[in-house]
Amino acid sequence: MNKINLLDIPKEELAHIIKPSFRAKQIYQWIYKKYADSFFEMTNLPKNLLQELDEKYTFKPLNIVKIETSLDGSKKYLFALQDGNTVESVLLPMKQEESSEDGKLIHQARYTICISSQVGCKIGCAFCLTGKDGFRRNLSAGEITSQVLMIKKDNNIAENRRVNIVYMGMGEPLDNLDNVSKAVKIFSDEDGLCISSRRQTISTSGLSTQIQKLGEMDLGVLLAISLHAVDDVLRQKLMPINKAYNIESIINAVKAFPIDARKRVMFEYLVMKDVNDDIKSAKKLVKLLHGIKSKVNLIYFNPHEGSEFLRPSEKDVIAFQQYLTDHGVLCTIRQSKGLDISAACGQLKDREEKR
Ligand code: SAH
Ligand code: SF4
Q: Is 240 in the pocket of ligand 2 (CB under 6 A)?
A: no
Q: pTM to 2 decimals?
A: 0.93
Q: How far is CA 334 from CA 136, 267, 320, 339, 345, in A?
A: 29, 12, 13, 11, 15
* pLDDT the model gives residue 306: 84
Smallest CA separation from ligand 1 atom 25, residue: 344
Are residues 82 and 167 in contact, defined by beta-carbon separation less than 8 angstroms? Answer: no
What is the three-class DSSP state of 59? coil
Helix, strand, coil tally for the chain in percent (to 5) = 40, 20, 40
* pLDDT the model gives residue 55: 97
Give the nearest ligand 1 atom to 203 CA.
8
* pLDDT the model gives residue 262: 86
* pLDDT the model gives residue 244: 97
* pLDDT the model gives residue 106: 59
Q: Would you name the residues annotated as active-site residues?
A: 88, 345
Q: Is CATH 1.10.150.530 correct for 4-58?
A: yes
Centre of ligand 1 from the C-alpha of residue 128, in Å: 6
Give the nearest ligand 1 atom to 224 CA.
8
Q: Is 205 in the pocket of ligand 2 (CB under 6 A)?
A: yes
Question: Please, which residues have CB within 8 angstroms of residue 327's CB and are 6 or more apart in sequence?
Answer: 286
Closest CA to 60 of 81, 46, 83, 75: 81
Instruction: Look at strands 294-300 and 265-271 and give their pairing.
Output: parallel
What are the two backbone dihedrals, phi and then psi, of residue 281, each rounded to the nearest 5 degrees? Answer: -65, -40
The CATH fold assigned to 62-97+109-353 is: TIM Barrel (3.20.20)
**Which ligand lies nearest to the CA atom of residue 242 in the structure?**
2
Are residues 214 and 179 in contact, defined by beta-carbon separation less than 8 angstroms? Answer: no
Domain locations in the chain? 4-58, 62-97+109-353
Question: Please, which residues have CB within 8 angstroms of residue 50's CB and are 6 or more apart in sequence?
Answer: 39, 40, 42
Q: Is 304 in the pocket of ligand 1 (CB under 6 A)?
A: yes
* Distance (Å, whole) CA 288 – CA 282: 10
Q: Is 171 in the pocket of ligand 2 (CB under 6 A)?
A: yes
* pLDDT the model gives residue 347: 59
Smallest CA separation from ligand 1 atom 4, residue: 168
* pLDDT the model gives residue 346: 57
Other residues' Cβ atoms within 10 Å of the Cβ of residue 158: 10
What are the two backbone dihedrals, phi and then psi, of residue 210, each rounded to the nearest 5 degrees? Answer: -75, -30
**Which ligand lies nearest to the CA atom of residue 166 in the structure?**
1
* pLDDT the model gives residue 259: 86
Q: How far is CA 205 from the centre of its chain?
A: 13
* Distance (Å, whole) CA 184 – CA 195: 9
Please determine whether the domains at 4-58 and 62-97+109-353 fall in the same fold group of CATH.
no
CA dihedral 232, 238, 244, 247 (to 10 degrees): -40
* Distance (Å, whole) CA 59 – CA 339: 32
**Which ligand lies nearest to the CA atom of residue 224 in the structure?**
1
- The DSSP call for residue 80 is E
* Distance (Å, whole) CA 348 – CA 257: 34
Question: Please, which residues have CB within 8 angstroms of residue 159's CB and are 6 or more apart in sequence?
Answer: 32, 33, 34, 35, 152, 194
Instruction: Look at strands 163-167 and 57-58 and give their pairing.
Output: unpaired
pLDDT tens for the 355 residues of the chain, in order: 689 999 999 999 999 999 999 999 999 999 999 999 999 999 999 999 999 999 999 999 999 999 999 888 899 999 999 999 999 999 998 766 666 666 666 566 689 999 999 999 999 999 998 878 899 999 999 999 999 999 999 999 999 999 999 999 999 999 999 999 999 999 999 999 999 999 999 999 999 999 999 999 999 999 999 999 999 999 999 999 999 999 999 999 999 999 888 899 999 999 999 999 999 999 999 999 999 999 999 999 988 888 899 999 999 999 999 999 999 999 999 876 555 555 455 555 655 555 5
* pLDDT the model gives residue 177: 98
